[in-house]
Amino acid sequence: MVSLLLDEMLSVAIASQLRSLGHDVIAAVEDRSMLAAADKEIFERALTAGRALVTANIKDFVPLDYHYKAEGRSHCGLILVSSKSFPQDRAFTGAVVTVLDKLLNDDRFGKDSTVFLQRQ
């Protein structure tokens, strides 16, 4: 089972709803020590905790993913949430929860995976 760390732009509501579906999820906003932390630190914290990172900060985390892999380092997974696929509207939370739930129930996602979420 994949555990998740939601980057700070993703709400506690998303984490709570995923937990109610039986998933192991924490949100960065639930831990004061992660608020305004550098991207590399967030990625490292996810790795140390054995969690895949979910973020909408594509422009900063795609290069981090590339550098990890170029250095031969592994991570626990990276899930990217595009504002084009998931606009910040009233349906955002429910849409993200639905797609993450489906992804977490798919055995193909795991270590070193990088996925752009697709709205259904």
Rounded-to-integer distance, Cα 33 and Cα 31, Å? 5
Question: pLDDT tens, 49-72?
Answer: 999 999 999 999 999 999 999 999
Torsion 58-82-117-31 (CA) sign: positive
DSSP tag of 74: -
Q: How far apart are CA 120 and CA 111, in angstroms?
A: 24
34: nearest Cα among 8, 55, 59, 61: 8
Beta strands in the chain (DSSP E): 3-6, 25-27, 51-55, 78-80, 114-116
Average the pLDDT over 34-44 and give the result.
90
CATH of the domain at 31: 3.40.50
Q: What is the pLDDT of residue 29?
A: 93
**For the chain, how many structural domains are there in total?**
1
Q: What is the pLDDT of residues 71-114, one digit of tens each?
A: 999 899 999 999 888 888 888 999 999 999 999 998 888 888 99
Give the span between the Cα atoms of 23 and 11, in whole angstroms.
15
Report pTM.
0.93
Going by pLDDT thresholds of 50, 70 and 90, the confidence category of residue 7 is: very high
Range of the domain at 79: 3-116
